[in-house]
Amino acid sequence: MVFPFTSSEDFKIEIGEEHELFRKSIREFVESKVMPRWREIEETNRIPEEILKEAAQLGIFGVGIPEEYGGQGGGHLMTALMMEEIARAVPSLSVTIGVNHLFAVPVMLFGSEEQKKKYIPPIARGEARGAHANTEPSGGSDVAGIQTRARKENGHYIISGRKVFISGAADADYLVVSARTSPPKEDKRWWGLSVFIVEKDTPGLKIGQQFKVLGMRGEQPYEVILEEVKVPEENLVGPENEGFKVIVSTYDYTRIGIAAQAVGIAQAGFEKALNYSLQRELFGQQLIQFEMIIEKIADMYMKLEAARLLTYWAATLADRGKREFVVAASLAKAFATEAAEWIARQAIQIHGGYGVDPETGVERYLRDAIITTIYEGTNEIQRLTIVRQLVRQTFGMRI
């Protein structure tokens, strides 16, 4: 029974030798250059420039971007493998890379050829940084409720509004910005939004406060203020008034990367817990010999592997161009992020007092995992997407 999918082949995960060789190369970079500096990143709340430069030299910023636009190619599964390995060490570094995808994906999907040739190659080479400014004080999950305004004057758009929780904004050379260009239609609340590319030196664009959120130290988000920001009409991404599709379609793809981040966090937490339970002795025996610890470790491992398989499956469907990848991506994002949060919590419990000591690096997994359950569509929104897609695919109905 494959309902609501059409064939058992839809559940195939296609991993080749090139994927494993790539994963090993990322693991080597992470183990030698990133992992040793996790504590520095936590304390300074910055990713060292040397790490970013080496990542650029290795082509990491171009993974998932076609070679014709300066990228490494590789697709969604390759990107997921990369995000998983990086997040296992420093999840915030995977955010730095991910926000570049949040800029590049809508341009790749809906942008003009001129936009792709101008903005994508510098992003892919790591010479420029991108960001994605959609969330507002009134909310982010309700994309149709965006209140930032853009009016057209003499071949330009004038944008005014305020965005919040925008990762990578302070270092971004280009931002994708959503704004309302027309009132919504009575039967189409989503209609009237448009998406623009805004360059960092544009007058009226300001980077406001940094939000000291719970986790992701090293890449915590910022406020973006737009005061009569003037952008040329050729910076419109996709059709005017149909930007809702641009934003939502972007998240359909990029939430696979969030699932992969969560798998990396879960892997790290599981490894820490397993190693500690083998080393720690209590009441004259190894911690792992206690039945309650055995149960925790087994459950952690089950959730970890289920999350990984869901994530690889969603990425494979996306690479195959199967429209069903949308529901798979939501399944993977919701399950993997909640699994990572649960696994991180168990890792802390297994470590006892050491689990809540920042020096051990265990408690950070929980802080970072919680963030993954929220951004790029909360898990409540993922559940809504799952059911809507399920009903639409199988019965042709909209709810």
Active site residues: 376
Token pair listed for 70: 């300066």
Distance between CA 237 and CA 259 in Å, rounded? 26
Distance between CA 78 and CA 75 in Å, rounded? 6
